[in-house]
């Protein structure tokens, strides 16, 4: 899970890095008019590689919804330019009215430009659900300071080798989607079934996660505390005299008896599908070759989707739940 950037200074620095990174790839400046429904931005200084363009400017803070404008589109040698996607970002806070935002991966500190997946263009059929279902882009969760989760597509890291490549691929997918809409591809029965399945999937996922964590408990940073509480909980149960606990970068907690892995525990900070899929894979892989009992440890209430519950039962993975208070972790 990512951590949403909210502080004004952090966001400002992230945008400066993003702009510098994009301009290293789209190196040629040009001055063009940019058209959009309802108006035109005249004499905008864009940066291009001859195929795609990027333009950025501040929307004044005195406006009703102040934000940093980040526009991307397909470059044309003559005439005005048209916007393919706006990935605008707030100046501070967790403004959900703005489709773009920055989020940090807590594992390595890398910051990413994220997008809600909301696309426009004025054509019937162009919209967020249809685009995401058509493109197969996945949504990653980012948690804000209030414990609320926001879901978006990872567009690009703000720095790194060839970082802009993934943003270009994202723009291409939006362009191809809009062409597909014009060609009537999303009106087919096959696509409508796919769209319905997509909306059912995310209605379940989002519905389970509309609420926010109690208070401002940071589940990510307290992962180790949960593992220690789990170890103490297991110690209170009967142990073989040859038992010993094991932990490493791959295993949250394991119990060996005579050098053979007997029990395996994987702790997750949420019941999101991405966390559940990852946990199942880790438990299966790291218990391979052993008859170890597998345990998935989740925050309470777990709220596991029915299809995953069935898989856990088939794979003989037991679910254990925990609670975090301000002061301690408690295994239920």
**Is 34 in the same domain as 163?**
yes
**Is 168 in the same domain as 21?**
yes
Q: How would residue 322 be classed by pLDDT, with cut points 50, 70 and 90? A: very high
Encode pLDDT of 154-175 as tens digits: 999 999 878 898 899 999 999 9
**Is 249 in the same domain as 199?**
no
**Is 202 in the same domain as 69?**
yes
Domain membership flag for residue 28: yes
Domain membership flag for residue 214: no
**Is 173 in the same domain as 305?**
no
Q: What stretch of H or E contains 104?
A: strand 100-104
Encode pLDDT of 94-120 as tens digits: 999 999 999 999 888 999 999 999 987
**Is 182 in the same domain as 255?**
no
Mapping DSSP to helix (H, G, I), strand (E, B) and coil, where does residue 64 land? coil
**Is 158 in the same domain as 69?**
yes
Which residues touch 198 (CB under 8 Å, ≥6 apart)?
129, 132, 133
User: Could you tell me the two tokens for 222?
Assistant: 């307290």
Domain membership flag for residue 102: yes
Q: How would residue 62 be classed by pLDDT, with cut points 50, 70 and 90? A: low
Q: Sheet containing 85-86: which strands, arranged edge to edge?
A: 81-82, 28-36, 39-48, 52-59, 67-74, 85-86
**Is 202 in the same domain as 252?**
no
**For position 299, what pLDDT does the model report?**
92
Q: What stretch of H or E contains 273?
A: helix 273-286
Higher pLDDT, 93 or 249: 93
Nearest to 283 by CA among 294, 274, 293: 294
Domain membership flag for residue 174: yes
Which residues touch 97 (CB under 8 Å, ≥6 apart)?
65
Give the CATH number of the domain where residue 244 resides.
Answer: 3.40.1350.10
Per the CB < 8 A criterion, the answer to whether 313 and 283 are in contact is no
**For position 216, what pLDDT does the model report?**
46
Answer left, alpha or beta for residue 38, where phi above 0 means left and psi between -120 and 50 means alpha: left
106-to-2, 3, 264 alpha-carbon distances in Å: 7, 7, 25
**Is 201 in the same domain as 258?**
no
Q: How would residue 146 be classed by pLDDT, with cut points 50, 70 and 90? A: confident
Nearest to 54 by CA among 14, 23, 80: 23
Per the CB < 8 A criterion, the answer to whether 307 and 330 are in contact is no
Q: 260: domain range?
A: 223-331
Domain membership flag for residue 279: yes
For the chain, give the mean pLDDT.
88
Per the CB < 8 A criterion, the answer to whether 276 and 1 are in contact is no
Domain membership flag for residue 217: no
- Pick from 208, 232, 251: which residue ends a domain? 208
**Is 276 in the same domain as 235?**
yes
- Pick from 175, 208, 241: which residue ends a domain? 208
- pLDDT above 80: residue 124: no
Domain membership flag for residue 322: yes
Quote the CA–CA distance of 311 and 137 in Å, as a whole number. 24
**Is 246 in the same domain as 152?**
no
- Pick from 184, 208, 232: which residue ends a domain? 208
Is the whole model's pTM more than 0.75, yes or no?
no
Encode pLDDT of 26-51 as tens digits: 999 999 999 988 889 999 999 999 99
DSSP output for 134-191: HH----EEEE-TTS-EEEEEEEEESSSTTTHHHHHHHHHHHHHHHHHHHTTGGGSHHH
Domain membership flag for residue 182: yes
Q: Sheet containing 329-331: which strands, arranged edge to edge?
A: 243-246, 253-257, 260-267, 293-299, 317-324, 329-331
Domain count, the chain: 2
**Is 243 in the same domain as 163?**
no
Quote the CA–CA distance of 292 and 282 in Å, as a whole number. 13
């Amino acid at each position: 899970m990512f951590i949403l950037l909210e502080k004004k200074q952090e966001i400002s620095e992230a945008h400066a890095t993003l702009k510098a990174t994009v301009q290293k790839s789209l190196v040629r400046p040009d001055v063009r008019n940019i058209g959009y429904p309802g108006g035109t931005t005249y004499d905008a200084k864009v940066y291009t590689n001859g195929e795609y363009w990027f333009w950025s400017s501040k929307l004044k803070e005195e406006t009703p919804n102040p934000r940093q404008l980040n526009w991307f589109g397909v470059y044309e040698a003559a005439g005005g330019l048209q916007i393919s996607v706006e990935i605008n970002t707030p100046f501070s806070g967790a403004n959900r009215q703005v489709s773009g935002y920055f989020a940090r991966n807590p594992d390595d500190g890398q910051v990413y430009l994220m997008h809600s997946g909301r696309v426009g263009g004025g054509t019937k059929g162009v919209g967020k659900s249809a685009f995401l279902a058509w493109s197969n882009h996945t949504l990653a969760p980012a948690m804000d300071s209030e414990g609320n989760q926001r879901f978006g597509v990872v567009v690009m890291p703000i720095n790194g080798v060839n970082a802009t490549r993934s943003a270009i691929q994202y723009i291409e997918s939006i362009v191809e989607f809009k062409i597909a809409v014009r060609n009537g591809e999303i009106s087919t029965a096959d696509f409508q079934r796919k769209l319905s399945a997509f909306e059912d999937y995310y209605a379940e996922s989002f519905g389970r996660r509309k609420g926010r964590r109690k208070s401002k408990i940071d589940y990510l940073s307290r992962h180790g505390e949960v593992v220690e509480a789990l170890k103490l909980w297991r110690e209170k149960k009967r142990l073989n005299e040859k038992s010993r606990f094991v932990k490493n970068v791959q295993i949250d907690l394991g119990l060996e008896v005579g050098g053979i892995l007997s029990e395996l525990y994987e702790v997750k900070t949420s019941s999101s599908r991405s966390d559940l899929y990852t946990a199942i894979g880790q438990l299966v892989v790291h218990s391979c070759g052993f008859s170890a009992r597998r345990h998935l440890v989740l925050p309470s209430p777990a709220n596991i989707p029915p299809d995953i519950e069935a898989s856990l039962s088939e794979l003989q993975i037991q679910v254990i739940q925990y609670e975090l208070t301000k002061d301690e972790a408690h295994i239920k």
